[in-house]
Amino acid sequence: MNTPAPNRTADADWWRQAVVYQVYPRSFADANGDGLGDLPGVTSRLPYLQQLGVDAVWLSPFYPSALADGGYDVDDYRDVDPRLGTLADADAMIARAHELGMKVVVDVVPNHSSDRHAWFREALASPPGSPARDRYVFRDGRGPDGSRPPSDWMSHFGGPAWTRVPDGQWYLHLFAREQPDFNWDNQEVREDFLATLRFWSDRGVDGFRVDVAHALTKDLSEPLRDYGGVHPDAMTELPLDGSHPLFDRDEVHEVFREWRKVLDTYDPPRSAVAEAWVTTSRRVLYARPDELGQAFNFELLVQPWSAEQFRVEIDAALSAAAVAGASATWVLSNHDVVRHASRYALPPGTDLDAWLLADGGTPEPDADQGLRRARAATLLMLALPGSAYLYQGEELGLPEVADLPAEALQDPIWERTGHAQKGRDGCRVPLPWTREGSSFGFGDGGAWLPQPASFGALSAEAQDGVEGSTLELYRSALALRRQLQADESLQWVDAGPVARTHLLHLRRATGWGSVTNFGDAPVDLPEGEVLLASGPLTGGQLPPDTTVWLRTRS
């Protein structure tokens, strides 16, 4: 356990049960009309987020980048992409968020830089074995002429994780070839990321989201260990003893213990959340109090619409978080996955990549069911102890834009998989703010991804003040959540063996109850004052695909 910093302010734990809203900056709001969202655009819409009732705003990368991977290919960790603004714009955005009572979380991408980063350019210009090359992972190839990659490791985006440079060596990239992996055995790399944490913390940033936290430290001892060319996404079961050469190695925790020391020098201490796609029991290790504090729990977003499976995952996440001394986290949508209003519109087990390739036509989505379930799932998530991470546009009930034409696609997944997967652009389509107008109020100069005509009716303007709209549901839920918030415990209310298969009824210490009907028949409403419902309640009953919040005596 770390020693608490002296004189910590009262809100040192603000993040433990915060609602954090993810902004994908290029798709949020475009102030200068170039078709690309920017930081002044974000600042201009902060009052909307305050009115929504979120505690914090997390911004996906806005750093200089060639956008080989939507900004997760960073040229310079301590600057702003000129197309998105300046450091002064970042300062203004942070200051305005604080004025409005919201915290700011920024993304840090430590596994890889972009190939335009000054260090990578220096590495390419330097000979094999040089200190500049040692900041990345360069190796000679296999075979008599070194023309085969140094190992059979695959990139997340398809193809080998190695690319050859003109002098014959190869460099490692677990993602696109424009994203060379850092060598975390290199002390300069470690120091540089501490400098980045200080840089943004000094500018007033309140926390960090840590990209692919589980991949930093690798077993790079020779000979490199082949793992059978398995695509990393197919590794559902990483070893639980940290023995995989690339992912979730035990040494990575030393890195985050160093980070925590730096984050704790600030008052309040800066928060951090790990993106680590590992099993629950290993994931919470990243969230220990002397490390990052939180780790994203993605289990709910991969579950089918099932009371039992939601309950199992909720229990597992809460108990694992409690053991680690962390707070739990919940996510239903983000910039990497099909939006939940569309996932729940599809039959269980739908292959989402195939569905996207079919432009969202096969199987045909049941959009009403999708939105009903999405709203019910959101109310359930917001009633759980811990932090809820919302993704921009889910408060409008936006569906995935599944029919983006091939020529519009920007995600490297499209090209790298030889057009076998469309990738993640469908959840990154710029937000609709107004019913009409150029790009529905996103900006004056069109949008970098085409928006469907249906976005007008889903815009913030069209839903503002409209009873029963998804936007008003989120606003009411977040306002109530603030009033009702309790300690981090949860009690299940047993509905009996039959109901248990389709009902989730939970209660928080303040008497705040939430009941979700996952079944296909209405059920009698449990006792309590109805505070909010995700859909209409009829005749004292809770219809299918609906969540209701109740006030009961605890």
- Given the residues 181, 275, 411, 488, the one annotated as active site: 275
Residues in Cβ contact with 437 at an 8 Å cutoff, skipping those fewer than 6 apart: none
Nearer to ligand NOJ, 385 or 423 (CB): 423
Interacting residues with ligand NOJ between 88 and 127 (CB under 6 A): 109
> How many C-beta atoms surround the C-beta of residue 532 within 10 A?
18
DSSP state of 439: G
Count of residues of this chain found to bind ligand NOJ when the rule CB under 6 A is applied: 9
Number of H helices, E strands in the chain: 17, 18
Give whole-number Cα distances, 177 to 115, 150, 181, 336, 409, in Å: 8, 15, 10, 19, 18
- Three state DSSP letters for 363-408: CCCCHHHHHHHHHHHHHHHHHCCCEEEEECCHHHCCCCCCCCCHHH
DSSP state of 39: H
Instruction: Determine the Cα–Cα distance for residues 275 and 212; give it in Å rounded to an integer.
Output: 5
At its nearest, how many Å lie between ligand NOJ and the CB of residue 216? 12
Q: State whether the Cα torsion 415-421-426-427 is positive or negative.
A: negative
User: Residue 517: what are its φ and ψ, rounded to 5°?
Assistant: -100, 105
Nearer to ligand NOJ, 411 or 545 (CB): 411
User: Residue 254: what are its φ and ψ, rounded to 5°?
Assistant: -65, -40
Closest CA to 158 of 419, 428, 427: 419
At its nearest, how many Å lie between ligand NOJ and the CB of residue 425? 11
At its nearest, how many Å lie between ligand NOJ and the CB of residue 26? 12
Interacting residues with ligand NOJ between 245 and 274 (CB under 6 A): none
Interacting residues with ligand NOJ between 40 and 59 (CB under 6 A): none
Nearer to ligand NOJ, 180 or 397 (CB): 180
Closest CA to 424 of 157, 180, 75: 157
Binding of residue 477 to ligand NOJ (CB under 6 A): no
Instruction: Determine the Cα–Cα distance for residues 83 and 515; give it in Å rounded to an integer.
Output: 46
Nearer to ligand NOJ, 156 or 373 (CB): 156
Nearer to ligand NOJ, 264 or 275 (CB): 275
At its nearest, how many Å lie between ligand NOJ and the CB of residue 114? 10
What is the residue type of 311?
R
At its nearest, how many Å lie between ligand NOJ and the CB of residue 45? 22
At its nearest, how many Å lie between ligand NOJ and the CB of residue 109? 6
At its nearest, how many Å lie between ligand NOJ and the CB of residue 277? 9
Binding of residue 336 to ligand NOJ (CB under 6 A): yes
At its nearest, how many Å lie between ligand NOJ and the CB of residue 525? 39
- Given the residues 211, 248, 394, 411, the one annotated as active site: 211
Q: Which of 24, 28, 58, 72 binds ligand NOJ (CB under 6 A)?
A: 72
Nearer to ligand NOJ, 81 or 211 (CB): 211
Give whole-number Cα distances, 38 to 69, 84, 384, 396, in Å: 17, 4, 33, 20
At its nearest, how many Å lie between ligand NOJ and the CB of residue 417? 14
Q: How far is CA 421 from the centre of its chain?
A: 20
Catalytic residue flag (residue 366):
no
Binding of residue 211 to ligand NOJ (CB under 6 A): yes
Nearer to ligand NOJ, 206 or 275 (CB): 275
Residues in Cβ contact with 279 at an 8 Å cutoff, skipping those fewer than 6 apart: 237, 238, 240
Show the tokens assigned to 153: 């490791």
Catalytic residue flag (residue 264):
no
Residues in Cβ contact with 373 at an 8 Å cutoff, skipping those fewer than 6 apart: 305, 340, 344, 345, 545
Cis peptide before 223 (omega within 30 of 0): yes
Question: Which residue is nearest to ligand NOJ, using beta carbons?
Answer: 72
Instruction: Determine the Cα–Cα distance for residues 142 and 144; give it in Å rounded to an integer.
Output: 7
At its nearest, how many Å lie between ligand NOJ and the CB of residue 551? 37
Nearer to ligand NOJ, 249 or 507 (CB): 249
Give whole-number Cα distances, 543 to 350, 383, 412, 454, 550, in Å: 25, 19, 42, 27, 15
Nearer to ligand NOJ, 288 or 335 (CB): 335
Q: Which of 58, 62, 170, 175 binds ligand NOJ (CB under 6 A)?
A: 175
Nearer to ligand NOJ, 154 or 212 (CB): 212
Binding of residue 212 to ligand NOJ (CB under 6 A): yes
- Give the DSSP letter string of 458-499: HSHHHHTT-TT-HHHHHHHHHHHHHHH---S--EEPP-HHHH
Interface residues with ligand NOJ (CB under 6 A) are: 69, 72, 109, 175, 211-212, 275, 335-336
Active site residues: 211, 275
